[in-house]
Chain A
C-alpha cells in the first residue's frame, strides 16, 4: 500500500470526506422526517393520503438511486432548475432512503398494539396527537435496528454523488486516481474513510438499541 497517495492528496481526501459527511447528515435527517411523514400517510385513514404514500414508496424504492440522482441533476437542469452535484445528490439520496425508512417505520407502527391508539383517543387526544405522542415514539424504538441499517446504507450510497460531480469522497477519489494513474490504493483509502463513518454509526445504533431495551 502506497501511503504517499494518502499524504500527497490528503487535502482532497479531506474535502471529499467533509462533503460526504455533509451530504450524509443532511440526507439522514431529511430522509428520517420524510420517512415518518410518508409512513403516517401510508397508514392514514384518509384514502388519498394513503394512495399518495403507497405510490411514493413503491416508486422510489423500486428505481435505482442513480436514476433519481440523474433526474435531480440533469432532469431539473433541462427545465431550468440548476442544482449542483452536492445538492442534487443529497436530495436524491434523501428521497430514495426515505422510501425505505417509511416502510420500516410503517412496520413499527403496525407492531404497536392497537389498544395504544384506542387508549389515547378515548382520553380525548386527536388522531394526530395520539400518533405523535403515543404511537410514533414506540414505533421508532421498535425499528431502531432497521433504521440503523438504512442509515449505514445511506452513507455508502452517498458515493452516488461522485457521478454528478458532488465533490464527495468518491468524486475526489476519481480525481486522484486519474491524476496519479493508480486505482486500487486510492479506493482502498476511500473505503477506510467510509468505515470511519459507518462503524461508529453501527456501534451507536447497537448502543442505543441496548439502552432502550434495558430502560423498559
Chain B
C-alpha cells in the first residue's frame, strides 16, 4: 500500500517537476538563457593611447547579452575611457572591439547607426538645458529613428513613468533635482530602445539622499535583462545585480570576479587596498 502510494506520489511529483517547475524556472531564466552565448561586447586585446599616454592596456573583456558588469578602480585607471570606447566616443588604438557583432573600429561601420543601440548615461547627466524633459527624450527617436512625434511622445511617457517622473514632462532640466535629472537621462537613453546601456558613475554627482532612486531604476533595468556596463563604486548595487565585477588599475583589467567573491576576498593585492580605501572613507 505504502509503496504504491509513494510511487504514485513520486510520479505525480516528477511529472509536476518536469512540466511546471522547469517551465517556471525556464521563464525566470529565459532572458539570461536566450542571451547565453551571445556576446554583446567583446574587447580583444584593445589598447588605447592619448598621445604617448597608454590609457588602456591589452584589454580583453566579454560582456554577454543580459549581463550586468560593474567596473571599478582608482581614479585615472581608465574606466571611463573603456566605457567610451564601446560607443566610440573614444577611438581605440589597436586590437578589436565588437559590439553586437559589429566591429566598431572598422572604417565602414556606420557609427550613428551603431549608437542607436547603445544608451549612455553620464555622471553629470548632460540633459539639453534648452529643451523640456519631454523634448529631451523625444529628440533622438524623432531625428534618428524617424518616429512620428505622437509615437515618440508615447514612448517617452512610457519611460518617464518607468523612471517615476511622468509629472515632470514639461519641466526644464534646471527645474529638477539631480536625482530627477539623472532619471530623465536614463529615460532618454531607454527611449531609443537600446540593447546596451552604459553608465559612467551615474550617482557620483548626486546628493546622498538621491542616490537610491537612481539605483532603483538601474536595478529594475538589470532585472529586466538589459545588458549593462556600469562604472560605479556603489557596492550595494554591485552585490545585488552585478553578474561580474571588473577591477581596473593603471589601464589594465587586474581582476574579474563575481561580486560575492570580489568583495569578500579579492585575489589582487591592489584590489584589496582599493576596497579598503573605499570602505573606510
Contact = CB atoms under 8 A, between A and B. Distances in A.
A215 B122 CA distance: 25
Interface in B168-217: 172, 174, 185, 188-189, 192
Interface stretch (B58-66, B124-132, B234-242): B124-132
Interface in B120-149: 120, 122, 124, 126-130, 139-140, 143-145
B97 to A, nearest CB: 16
A116 B136 CA distance: 12
Nearest to B130: A137
Contacts of A121: 89, 115
Nearest to B188: A123
Given A118-B89, A123-B144, A216-B172, A133 B139 contact: yes
A123 B128 CA distance: 12
Instruction: Classify chain A's interface size.
Output: 20 to 34
B116 interface: yes
B143 A133 contact: yes
Interface in A132-168: 133-134, 137-138, 141
A115 B122 contact: yes
Contact of B143 (A115, A129, A138, A215): A129
A115 B126 contact: yes
Contacts of A64: none
A122 B174 contact: no
Contact of A216 (B130, B145, B192): B130
Contacts, number: 64
A124 B128 contact: no
B44 to A, nearest CB: 23
Contact of B115 (A113, A124, A129, A137): A124
A66 interface: no
B155 interface: no
Contacts of B145: 124
Contacts of B112: 124-126
Given A134-B128, A216-B130, A122 B143 contact: no
A216 B124 CA distance: 17
Nearest to A123: B140
Contacts of B118: 122
Nearest to B175: A216
A137 B185 CA distance: 20
Interface residues of B, number: 27
Contacts of B113: 124
Contacts of B126: 113, 115-116, 118-119
B87 interface: yes
Nearest to A126: B112
A129 B172 CA distance: 21
B122 A119 contact: yes
A141 B124 contact: no
Given A118-B122, A133-B139, A125 B144 contact: yes
B129 A216 contact: yes
Nearest to B86: A122
A54 B27 CA distance: 62
Contacts of A120: 128
Contacts of B143: 125, 129, 133
A126 B143 CA distance: 10
Contacts of B140: 123-125
A134 B87 CA distance: 19
Contacts of A126: 112
A215 to B, nearest CB: 8
Contacts of B174: 216
A120 B128 CA distance: 9
Nearest to A138: B130
Interface of A: 113, 115-116, 118-126, 129, 133-134, 137-138, 141, 215-216
27 contacts: A113-B126, A115-B124, A116-B128, A118-B120, A119-B120, A119-B126, A119-B127, A119-B185, A120-B128, A121-B89, A121-B115, A122-B87, A122-B89, A123-B116, A123-B139, A123-B140, A123-B189, A123-B192, A124-B115, A124-B116, A124-B140, A125-B144, A133-B139, A141-B130, A215-B172, A216-B129, A216-B130
